[in-house]
């Protein structure tokens, strides 16, 4: 072996381990790199950098899936090269998406004779925007038919997820938000009716509010809108933002009236990647019937082969999430989803009861009759030594992400903490969290610091 060949071989050895020639060099950061890096070194360095991220399993702020079966990982890898939008090239994937829409129509009690329709999206935010765009277009059409101006649309909602104000700003719609008032933390039928007029494109009710995990009273709001129509002729549709509740209520509260069993509910969105148990990047929207999705919003795309109908905010999208969603539906069925949702709710109820026993917290949501999880605040007087933000920050030291946030705008005095007990947050993990909450409280009571009035991390907590 020549010396030259020996060096070449050694360099290869070095490449395989942390002693690689690349290691002493920092990764390129803000300028497009000129030189190559070997694939294994680049992988190792990027992988190592990600060690600084939080641990997703301890992130109790998120509603999104952080645990998957290995079969889902296999399907995701098999679909890596598939573009969902290319229906001509991947007709079977398209077929699976269509089956999921039918199954969701069935799960959400859409009358078959009304021929519900829908599609997958990247998440509930996109799905909410599609639903709201359909309501806006339908309202505009109706105004034009009556020869009336259609320049000042408004949308009524409670304490909604930020995707709704985003829709309102992007698409020029006035958002009439119903603020919390005293002990009322959600919309009430009376508050909805007060805000309705001929320019109202719809009412958004949330099944599983992001801030409180509770269900808004869809049926009561629908009845109030029925009365309004009878008295004043205003026919205002309801869109249900069931981002989390769409995959919880049918299994935990099957007798709850919130879905297409209410004729006024014209569209529903849900996140497949939350309690739908699909990997991140999967949402759904279903309309009650074709009239609810104006034809003018659907684009005919011809250049991928055959003619394809398309309604989405994005064009190309990974197919794996939809395939994984179909896998979940087939794998779990109603029985499996019910078993999992019940398990998550039991963990939430247990955690809530334990938090109550500490006698320093007031429970806003105790995991019963809403999304599995707990929302709580410090009892009045208890917040003398430390704030909810302090507790949240203290838990962060042990890797837990338990967000603290105010119920703005009217109840910004009420700062709550929230832990979502999704699949993977076992009773055991919840017990470890509880131990750390007890320890953190003792620590904060012993060493009262200057109270934090805001959260500590600049990036903020993830509310999705
Ligand atoms: C009620 C509600 N709507 C919409 C969203 C946005 O969902 P996604 O993150 O799937 O876009 C969330 C996220 O938490 C939510 O809780």
In angstroms, the CA 94 to CA 74 distance is: 19
Tens of pLDDT along 81-138?
999 999 889 999 999 999 999 999 999 999 999 999 999 999 999 999 999 999 999 9
At 413 the pLDDT is 86
Q: Which of 61, 64, 123, 161 best tests ligand 1's pocket when mutated (most atoms within 8 Å of CB)?
A: 161
Instruction: Please tell me what DSSP assigns to residue 38.
Output: -
Nearest residue (by CA) to ligand 1, atom 9, is 464
pLDDT at 273 over 60: yes
pLDDT at 456 over 70: no
pLDDT at 9 over 60: no
Average pLDDT over residues 141-161: 97
Tens of pLDDT along 158-200?
999 999 999 999 999 999 999 999 889 999 999 999 999 999 9
Nearest residue (by CA) to ligand 1, atom 13, is 464
Nearest atom (ligand 1) to Cα of 126: 11
Q: Which of 122, 123, 214 best tests ligand 1's pocket when mutated (most atoms within 8 Å of CB)?
A: 123
Question: ω into residue 409 within 30 of 0, thus cis?
Answer: yes
Average pLDDT over residues 294-316: 82
When mean pLDDT is compared over 21-30, 66-75, 410-419, the highest value belongs to: 66-75
Spacing, Cα 290 to ligand 1 middle (Å):
25
Spacing, Cα 242 to ligand 1 middle (Å):
8
Positive or negative, the CA dihedral 185, 188, 194, 198 is: positive
Spacing, Cα 243 to ligand 1 middle (Å):
5
b/e per residue 9-22 (b: at least 16 CB within 10 A): eeeeebbeeeebeb
* Range of weakest confidence among 188-202, 211-225, 261-275, 376-390: 376-390
In this structure, the residues whose C-beta lies within 6 A of any atom of ligand 1 are: 63, 123-125, 128, 161, 163, 206, 210, 241, 243-244, 271, 283, 463-464
At 301 the pLDDT is 75
Spacing, Cα 271 to ligand 1 middle (Å):
7
* Range of weakest confidence among 64-73, 328-337, 444-453: 444-453
pLDDT at 42 over 80: yes
| Strand-pair partners of 370 | 214
Tens of pLDDT along 366-389?
999 999 999 999 998 776 789 999
Nearest atom (ligand 1) to Cα of 207: 1
At 303 the pLDDT is 66
Nearest residue (by CA) to ligand 1, atom 7, is 124
Model-level pTM greater than 0.75?
A: yes
How confident is the prediction for the chain on average, in pLDDT? 91
pLDDT at 452 over 80: no
When mean pLDDT is compared over 9-18, 31-40, 363-372, the highest value belongs to: 363-372
At 453 the pLDDT is 63
The per-residue DSSP string of 151-205 comes to: ---EEEESS--THHHHHHHHTT-EEEE---BTTB-S--HHHHHHH--TTEEEEEE
Strands of the 200-206 sheet, one edge to the other: 117-121, 283-287, 265-271, 238-241, 200-206, 154-157, 174-177
Spacing, Cα 125 to ligand 1 middle (Å):
6
Nearest atom (ligand 1) to Cα of 463: 14
Nearest atom (ligand 1) to Cα of 210: 16
At 10 the pLDDT is 54
Spacing, Cα 178 to ligand 1 middle (Å):
18
Task: Determine how many CB atoms are found less than 10 A away from the CB of residue 155.
Answer: 26
Spacing, Cα 167 to ligand 1 middle (Å):
13
Spacing, Cα 163 to ligand 1 middle (Å):
7
At 381 the pLDDT is 79
At 17 the pLDDT is 52
Domains, the chain, ordered by start: 74-329 (3.40.640.10)
């Amino acid at each position: 072996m020549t010396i030259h060949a020996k060096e070449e071989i050694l360099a290869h050895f070095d490449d395989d381990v942390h002693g690689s020639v690349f290691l002493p060099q920092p990764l390129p950061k803000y300028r497009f790199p000129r030189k190559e890096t070997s694939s294994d070194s680049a992988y190792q360095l990027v992988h190592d950098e990600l060690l600084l991220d939080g641990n997703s399993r301890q992130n109790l702020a998120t509603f999104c899936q952080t645990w998957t079966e290995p079969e889902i990982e296999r399907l995701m890898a098999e679909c890596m090269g598939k573009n969902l939008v290319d229906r001509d090239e991947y007709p079977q994937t398209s077929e699976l998406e269509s089956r999921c829409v039918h199954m969701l129509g069935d799960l959400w009690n859409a009358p078959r004779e009304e021929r519900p329709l829908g599609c997958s999206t990247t998440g509930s935010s996109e799905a909410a925007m599609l639903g709201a765009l359909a309501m806006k277009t339908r309202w505009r059409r109706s105004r034009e038919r009556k020869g009336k101006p259609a320049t000042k649309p408004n949308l009524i909602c409670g304490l909604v997820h930020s995707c709704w104000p985003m829709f309102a700003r992007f698409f020029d719609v006035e958002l009439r938000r119903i603020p919390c008032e005293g002990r009322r933390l959600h919309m009430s039928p009376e508050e909805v009716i007060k805000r309705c007029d001929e320019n109202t494109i719809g009412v958004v009710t949330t099944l599983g509010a992001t801030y409180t995990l509770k269900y808004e009273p869809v049926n009561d709001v629908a009845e109030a809108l029925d009365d309004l129509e009878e008295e004043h002729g205003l026919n205002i549709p309801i869109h249900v933002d069931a981002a989390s509740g769409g995959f919880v209520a049918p299994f935990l509260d099957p007798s709850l009236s919130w879905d297409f069993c209410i004729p006024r509910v014209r569209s529903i969105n849900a996140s497949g990647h939350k309690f739908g148990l699909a990997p991140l990047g999967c949402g759904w929207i279903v309309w009650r019937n074709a009239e609810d999705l104006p034809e003018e919003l659907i684009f005919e795309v011809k250049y991928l082969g055959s003619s394809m109908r398309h309604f989405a905010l994005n064009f190309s999208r990974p197919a794996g999430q939809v395939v994984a969603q179909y896998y979940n539906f087939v794998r779990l069925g109603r029985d499996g989803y019910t078993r999992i949702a019940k398990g998550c709710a039991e963990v939430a109820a247990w955690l809530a009861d334990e938090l109550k026993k500490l006698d320093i917290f007031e429970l806003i949501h105790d995991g019963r009759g809403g999304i599995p999880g707990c929302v709580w605040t410090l009892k009045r007087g208890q917040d003398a030594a430390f704030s909810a933000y302090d507790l949240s920050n203290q838990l962060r030291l042990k890797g837990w992400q338990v967000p603290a946030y105010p119920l703005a705008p009217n109840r910004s005095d009420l700062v709550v903490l929230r832990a979502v007990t999704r699949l993977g947050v076992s009773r055991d993990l919840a017990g470890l969290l509880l131990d750390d909450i007890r320890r953190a409280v003792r620590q904060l009571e012993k060493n009262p610091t200057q109270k934090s009035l805001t959260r500590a991390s600049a990036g903020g907590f993830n509310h999705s």
